[in-house]
Amino acid sequence: MESRNFLRFLAISLSVSLVLFFTWVHLPYAPQPNTTTDLLYCSTNSPWCTSKNRFQSINKPSTADNILEKPPNPKHHKVHNHESDTPHHPLDPLTISEINRVRTILKSHALFRSSSPFAFHSVVLEEPDKTLVLQWKKGDSLLPRKAAVVARVAGKSHVLTVDITTGEVAVQETGSRSGYPTMTIEDMTSSTWAPLSNADFNRTIIQRGVDLQDLACLPISLGWFGESEENRRLIKVQCYSMEGTANFYMRPIEGLTVLLDMDSKEVVEISDKGRDIPIPKAANTDYRYSAQKINPEMMFVNPISIEQPKGPSFTVEDEHLVKWANWEFHLKPDPRAGVIVSRAKVRDPDSGEMRDVMYKGFTSELFVPYMDPTDAWYFQDVYGCG
Ligand SMILES: *[C@@H]1O[C@H](CO)[C@@H](O)[C@H](O)[C@H]1NC(C)=O
């Protein structure tokens, strides 16, 4: 990828997954009052099910926590302690001990020894060159392990490469680059309260009949929308009314977008073009089972269980190598790219040999913009990590 676009790409990435994670972790919810949800909690009916539903399990710590801590079927739920992981393949992600080593190395680096605040926005494997990875075979010694680090120190971004074995740190030139490191959880948290420091913002919220106590503001998609935004880490914030509903996404304060500087926490601009757009009513927006007025004939309380009674049809070797039918590929999570599939091969039906299909692919290459050019929507997308 062209280096000029690299940081920009970083900035766009992660946005949706972070928003979803952030919503999950930080935003308010109404506790679940009734017990019929037991029936819908999948672990009640399937030993293989470990998904934890925030809304259904909130009053059920015993059920939900037990299933995660004490798996009912050890054969299918090996609890793996990742502390002692070691890399087996040149593309394996950094292990916990490698990340700790990177931290130790960087702690003594000149960039981080001053009293200026700093944040590591990304610490991932710096993948070896493709030619070397292609030559590597199982049993060969591992290629030198390096970390690619994006750090921000005193309002400046830095891209570093850390050699985990030698401790050598190479600082890349970032002056000529545009783009910014992606948001941190702290950046996201501040965007929920920062708009309230602006009197115009408060005024327009009150004018729309929303009590400031009922306000929920969220950082939506990141992006770069022109020269005027250059050299600043900006985020557009969308707000909702939480009044009378657990489902505040149904009550957007439409046509109001706050442009926020994530470094200074300052409101840069308020686009307020939707004053005439009413906020949807709270009635009938609650999606939770307990809130549904369901005709008894339509009750769907019998359990559904989706299982693979003989286990999955794929195997995983050395933590990251997946074998499934006539396919084989290396799989790893990446905070920027999402899931990365590498070295995908298929057994050629003619030759019987494994044939290379794809060197590397990102799930985040799926991009779904809403394609609405109006002011409040043109920057939004779903599943869009650029
Ligand atoms: C906006 O309202 C919030 C909540 O009532 C308040 O804490 C904040 O000080 C207000 N901001 C300004 C600039 O008046």
> Is the confidence at residue 5, as pLDDT, over 60?
no
**Angstrom distance (rounded) from CA 284 to CA 189:** 29
pLDDT digits (tens, 9 = 90+) for 136-169: 999 999 999 999 999 988 888 899 999 999 999 9
Q: How far is CA 376 from CA 59, 74, 191, 255, 258, in A?
A: 37, 49, 17, 5, 10
Q: Which atom of ligand 1 is nearest to the CA of 198?
A: 13
* SS3 (DSSP) at 372: coil
- Start-end of CATH 3.10.450.40 domains in the chain: 82-172, 185-279
Q: Which atom of ligand 1 is nearest to the CA of 201?
A: 1
Which of 202, 217, 266 has most ligand 1 atoms within 8 Å of CB, for mutation?
202
Residue 7 phi, psi dihedral angles, 5° rounding: -70, -35
Return the higher-pLDDT residue of 178 and 155.
155
Question: Is the beta carbon of 214 within 6 A of some atom in ligand 1?
Answer: no
pLDDT digits (tens, 9 = 90+) for 100-147: 999 999 999 999 988 888 899 999 999 999 999 999 999 999 999 999
Q: What is the dihedral of CA 372, 378, 380, 384, to 10 degrees?
A: 90
Q: How many CA atoms lie within 13 A of 184 on its CB side?
A: 14
The mean pLDDT value for 350-374 works out to 88
Question: Is the beta carbon of 196 within 6 A of some atom in ligand 1?
Answer: yes
Q: Ligand 1 centroid vs 202 CA: distance in angstroms?
A: 6
Question: Is the beta carbon of 212 within 6 A of some atom in ligand 1?
Answer: yes
> Is the confidence at residue 61, as pLDDT, over 50?
no
- According to DSSP, the β-strands at 368-369 and 354-362 are unpaired
Q: Of all protein residues, whose CA lies closest to atom 6 belonging to ligand 1?
A: 196
**Angstrom distance (rounded) from CA 66 to CA 63:** 5
CATH number corresponding to 82-172: 3.10.450.40
pTM confidence score: 0.68
* Helix locations, the chain, DSSP H: 3-12, 15-26, 54-57, 61-69, 96-107, 130-135, 185-193, 199-207
Question: Is the beta carbon of 202 within 6 A of some atom in ligand 1?
Answer: yes
Q: Which atom of ligand 1 is nearest to the CA of 196?
A: 1
Which of 192, 193, 196 has most ligand 1 atoms within 8 Å of CB, for mutation?
196
Q: Which atom of ligand 1 is nearest to the CA of 202?
A: 1
pLDDT digits (tens, 9 = 90+) for 189-239: 999 999 999 999 999 999 999 999 999 999 987 778 888 888 888 999 999
pLDDT digits (tens, 9 = 90+) for 294-326: 777 766 677 889 999 999 999 999 999 999 999
Topology (CATH) of 185-279: Nuclear Transport Factor 2; Chain: A, (3.10.450)
Closest CA to 19 of 174, 185, 154: 185
> Is the confidence at residue 50, as pLDDT, over 70?
no
pLDDT at position 180, please?
A: 81
Question: Is the beta carbon of 277 within 6 A of some atom in ligand 1?
Answer: no
Instruction: Tell me how crowded residue 329 is: count the other CB atoms within 10 A of its CB.
Output: 19
* SS3 (DSSP) at 235: strand
Which of 197, 213, 258 has most ligand 1 atoms within 8 Å of CB, for mutation?
197
Question: Is the beta carbon of 213 within 6 A of some atom in ligand 1?
Answer: no
* Helix locations, 222-326, DSSP H: none
Q: Ligand 1 centroid vs 210 CA: distance in angstroms?
A: 13
Q: Ligand 1 centroid vs 351 CA: distance in angstroms?
A: 71
Q: Ligand 1 centroid vs 206 CA: distance in angstroms?
A: 11
